[in-house]
């Protein structure tokens, strides 16, 4: 099974898993932090984009920020064997 490098979990999934011990330590304390950690190696995820993500109020707004910054992403999990 391989991981999709463009996958970010939906906000609801992130919120549901946040109560699991150790989850936030590995995945970020906020959804915006999760996204920034996930894509930290992408050259087009600049500090300016990170700031916009942290200021965003909704999941849709964050997705729009990523799309406008040409960061490829999906929140549809596909499993390959």
Say which residues have a Cβ less than 8 Å from residue 62's Cβ, sequence separation at least 6: 31, 32, 35, 53, 56
Q: Would 57 be classed as within a structural domain? A: yes
Kindly give the confidence (pLDDT) of every residue in the chain, 81 residues in length, as a single tens digit, with 9 standing for 90 and above: 447 788 999 999 999 999 999 999 999 999 999 999 999 888 888 999 999 999 999 999 999 999 999 999 998 887 665
Q: What is the pLDDT of residue 2?
A: 46
Is the residue at 14 inside a domain? Answer: no
Q: Domain tally for the chain?
A: 1
Residues 6+ apart with CB under 8 A from 53: 32, 35, 36, 62, 65, 66
- Domain membership of residue 60 (yes or no) is yes
Q: Round to whole Å and give the CA distance between 48 and 61.
A: 15
Residue 15 domain flag: no
Which domain does 51 fall in, by range? 30-71
pLDDT of 80: 60
Does the pTM of the predicted model rise above 0.75? Answer: yes
13 lies in some domain: no
Burial classification of residue 48, based on how many CB atoms lie within 10 Å of its CB (0-12 exposed, 13-18 middle, 19 or more buried): exposed
79 found inside a domain? no
């Amino acid at each position: 099974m391989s991981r999709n490098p463009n996958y970010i979990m939906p906000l609801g999934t992130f919120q549901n898993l946040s109560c699991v011990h150790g989850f936030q330590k590995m995945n970020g304390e906020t959804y915006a932090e999760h996204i920034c950690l996930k894509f930290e190696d992408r050259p087009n995820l600049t500090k300016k984009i990170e700031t916009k993500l942290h200021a965003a109020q909704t999941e849709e707004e964050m997705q729009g920020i990523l799309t406008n910054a040409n960061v490829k992403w999906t929140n549809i999990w596909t499993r390959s064997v």
